[in-house]
Chain A
Amino acid sequence: MNQSSFSWLTERRFRAAGLLWLAVLLVAGALLAQLWHSGVLRLQSNIYALLPASEYRPEVAAAYQRVSDDVNNRLFIAIQAADSAALEQATRETLRLAAESGLLTSAPLNAEGSAGPGLYAHRAVLLSDADREALLGGHYQALTERALVQLASPLYGASDQQLREDPLLLFPRFLLERAAAAGAGELEAGWPTRRDAQQSVRLLVFALRGKPFDMSYQGRLLPWLQQLKLQMRQWQVAVRATGTVVFAATASGRAQREISIISIGSTLGLTILVWLAFRSPRPLATELASMSAGCLIAFLGTHLIFGEVHLMTLVFGSSLIGVSVDYSMLFMCTQAAHPQRAALLTLKSLLPALLMALATTVAGYACMAATPFPGLTQIAIFSALGLLASWITGMLLLPRLRALDTRYARAALRPLVAARSWAAGRLRWKIPLFFGVPVLAVLLACQWRVDDDVRNLQSRDANLLADESYIKNTFQARQNSQFLVVYGSDETDVAEREAALLTRLRVLVSDGQLQGFQALGLWSPTAATQVRTLHALQSLPDAILQSYAEASGLELGDLRRWRSALATVEPTIIDIPALRPWRISERIRLVTLSGIEDYREVARAGAVPGVQFVDPVHELSATFGRYRLYGGWLVLAATLLLSAALAWRYGAAALPATLGPVLLSILTTLLLLLWCGIAINLFVIMALFLILGIGVDYAIFFRESPTQGDSVTVGVTLCMLSTALGFGLLGISHTAVIHGFGLTVLFGVISSFLFAALVTHGQRAREPLQ
């Protein structure tokens, strides 16, 4: 490929292309404005939207969806006051403000207390386990003895009507047993409340009236909470809040602040860099133009493809588009070195390098887009589109402008140029050998630290964590994020399977492996059990009723009437609102768990057909781990693809000089990460992709330039510095994964530059074109 390949690129066509591109940009801008105006632009901030879609079977996925919706759509507000009066006042005021704000709906807890009234209608079939055992085993004495004890208890106040409807007091003992097993707190007007000598604390539960990950909703909710806290403070009432929305809102607030810091920092750094290099503010304007064009096309294209743009895409994507600065830098430096030459000729001389560099980087993104992580696909597509648009804008715009003055930059970089020419004759491909082997050896000898914990995706604010644990401890919320899903062909099938599962779980509870569990089956016996229970109750011997009547003072007639009325009771699934959280559909039920001591034991109890143990955090992390490995193979595949492309373009003998530096840089980066204690995860692997693309660009730029050209040295140095500025700043992020990503790219870019500068040299000592 030589410059004659671009002979079709005439001055006239170049100008026409420029105008056409300008028209494209204007149309895109108008379209974006129109989308914004009509309010369909959507920014997504749910970090989990970046993850691959569920790999579960439909029943489990439905349960999973229900659980995460239930968890994510709640806000918990704990109010803590010195005395009861202040607590009542604070409760009323908080509920009033919440209703007034239109942001929240109060959602009193459906625990044992509120389940009672609805369940009472089904009392005939609701027996405690001990009573049912005694009844079905024919130990009637035990049954009536317990009834007498209950009746005589000074703590139990029965009503006359209740004694007629449930003379053996089976239902209250059922409720007592459930309460003893469940560990639900004392509810006052539906709110769990704790009191001691110093203070009273109440937990108010709200359902969100917006989406927890919708940033505009978050933007209204957080200030409301802040206002509530201030107002309550005047009454000496402390307010703590927790819930997905609070964490998400704080995290997205932080991400937004980080984006501003990173963009301000990058811009500032770039301004100084450009001024030092070119002594002119003009490159800033042209870079801004090409970056804006890139972001415009990227945003529009991504939104058209996905229907929304994720906040993470903006964070990562906008820095990735920053790589496009490299192409313009190279052009400006080359043009500055040959100010007399026609700009279009300079462009033509650079096009092979620029096209090759663009192609390799876009190919890198294409590999990234092929991952099954929707988030990464979106970032890759955003970046590829942006980079392409930015490249086109730069290449069409810059040749129309005057050459700049890079004398000072060239003077400053003379030592580097000298070092390069010294290395040119001596080092070459020996460097990869001399450096690469020991680095690889160290890397292999060291233990890799791998961390796929999905929770690293979000920065977790320490104050929020403190509030969360306060609320959990105060109200003894030990419900685990793990749960069991039971499914079957119909209601009977699923009920039988659930009953078998609950029997196994009870064993775990008595062994201390599990603190407790909640399930529909605890409240609603299977149809078969109901039939047996009803039958046994109807067969209670008359003698037993008689002796019970004598001991208790109840009328024998009432007892007999109660027994014969049981004949009209039909077995039924107990479907009351308080129990719906555990009944996803007729065929799917949910079993929630609390206080798991050993996950494996619970998983084993759930390892039967029709039951699945779900551990969301662990499984997402495992998915991350799988894709980290998958990503590693993709990097390898991309390297092979690149080496083929480079061998085709420059010959196999040149591979150490073209691919060597970037491979060496990847090894060095891994070594540095190891030293910095940064664990390898999917995002580090993705950063390696980027290094592969950028690092090869540097090698290509050096390779495509005349051997001793100092303009390319200046150009590539500026490229490296500007990229390092962009990514180095990502390293300040509080989100563990962005931090790791930023540092990886920073190390990679600097080391790629150093190795390429020393190892890669222009082969075609072509004189400047006439």
Chain B
Amino acid sequence: MKRLLCCIGGLLLSATAVADTVQDVMAILGRHVLVRASYEQHKRVAGRKRELRSSGTLVFARNQGVLLEMNLPAVSQLVMTDTVIVQRSAGQTMRLKLQQSPLGAAATVFGQLASGNLQQLQQNFAVSASSTGTTQWELKLTPRSEAVKKSLQEIRLGGDQFLQEITLFDTRGGRVLLQLADHQTQPETLSADESELFQLAH
């Protein structure tokens, strides 16, 4: 009986600890008004040997969204807020409401990470957190909606003081890994070009 109580107690404690970690991670992510980082992306399509590499910069603007500027292998800009995606490439700008888009599920994650809105994130994903070192953490997001589950299996986020890694696993066995580096928190304002793109999303 005593052991059982201990077990339950332990479970309760660990559950609170996990919740705390999630809260902490969201706090870390929401600490800076603006974070710029360079990224390198490795995308693997199931059944293909060669990975597609791309790189560019990633801008997390608190309460606004995320801007992914790809430089290689082609130039494009992709803005993701919690409701809208704007993509610009080869002279074409496309604005999509997330609800209209099959891409919506994954994009919401970027938008919600930027907004630091845990409650909204948990609305769409089951969130679990673990500490992998003294300052290292990992978040695991599993989609709740049946529609999203069809294409997206899981998202993993890892980091320390900053977000360092994002991995998306699709249901077909494909995987996208984004590695972030050179995080900068200054300047705290968007450039004219960046603002223009965020404007399009509002």
What is A's interface to B at a CB cutoff of 8 Å?
84, 112-113, 130, 134, 141-143, 145-146, 148-149, 151-161, 163, 175-177, 179-180, 182-189, 194-197, 551-553
Contacts and interface: CB of A to CB of B under 8 A. Distances in A.
A156 B103 contact: yes
A186 B99 contact: yes
Contacts of B192: none
Contacts of B102: 113, 175, 179
A92 to B, nearest CB: 12
A461 to B, nearest CB: 30
B172 to A, nearest CB: 5
Interface string B63-79: 00000101001111010
Given A152-B41, A154-B168, A188 B145 contact: yes
Given A113-B102, A180-B94, A185-B100, 14 more contacts: A130-B91, A143-B90, A154-B166, A154-B168, A179-B101, A180-B96, A180-B100, A182-B100, A188-B146, A189-B146, A197-B119, A551-B74, A553-B48, A553-B51
B74 A163 contact: no
B2 interface: no
Given A163-B45, A194-B99, A155 B107 contact: yes
A141 B151 CA distance: 30
Contact of B90 (A146, A154, A163): A146
Given A146-B89, A551-B74, A154 B178 contact: yes
A177 B123 CA distance: 28
Nearest to B43: A152
Interface string B83-104: 0010101111011110111111
Contact of A163 (B48, B95, B146): B48
List of 4 A-B pairs having minimum Cβ-Cβ separation, nearest first = A160-B47, A157-B170, A155-B103, A553-B50
Contact of A142 (B48, B91, B95): B91
Contacts of A163: 45, 48
A553 B52 contact: yes
Contact of A130 (B74, B78, B92, B151): B92
A149 B74 contact: yes
B85 A155 contact: yes
Contacts of B145: 84, 188, 195
Contact of A149 (B76, B80, B107, B172): B76
16 contacts: A143-B90, A149-B74, A152-B74, A154-B41, A154-B166, A155-B80, A155-B85, A157-B151, A157-B172, A176-B101, A179-B100, A180-B94, A185-B99, A186-B100, A551-B74, A552-B73
Interface of B: 41, 43, 45-48, 50-52, 54, 68, 70, 73-76, 78, 80, 85, 87, 89-92, 94-97, 99-104, 106-107, 119-120, 123-124, 144-147, 151-152, 166, 168, 170, 172, 174, 176, 178
A160 B46 contact: yes
Contact of A145 (B68, B74, B100, B106): B74
Contacts of B43: 151-152, 154
Contacts of A84: 144-145
Contacts of A159: 45-47, 172, 174
Nearest to B176: A154
B111 to A, nearest CB: 11
B52 A151 contact: yes
Contacts of A160: 45-48
Given A148-B73, A197-B123, A158 B45 contact: yes
Contacts of B120: 197
Contacts of A552: 52, 73
Contacts of B103: 153, 155-156
Contacts of A146: 74, 89-90, 92
A141 B74 CA distance: 10
Contacts of A153: 78, 87, 103
Contacts of A145: 74-76, 89-90
Contacts of A130: 91-92
Nearest to A163: B45
A156 B101 CA distance: 11
A157 B90 CA distance: 21
Given A154-B68, A188-B147, A552-B73, A180 B95 contact: yes
A194 to B, nearest CB: 7
A182 B101 CA distance: 11
A188 B149 CA distance: 11
Nearest to A139: B90
B178 to A, nearest CB: 6
Nearest to A111: B100
A134 B90 contact: yes
Given A134-B90, A160-B46, A176-B96, A152 B54 contact: yes
A141 B89 CA distance: 11
Contacts of B52: 151-152, 552-553
Contacts of A148: 73-74
Nearest to B78: A153
Contacts of B97: 183
A223 B80 CA distance: 46
Nearest to B144: A84
Contacts of A553: 48, 50-52
Contacts of A176: 94, 96, 101
A152 B87 CA distance: 13
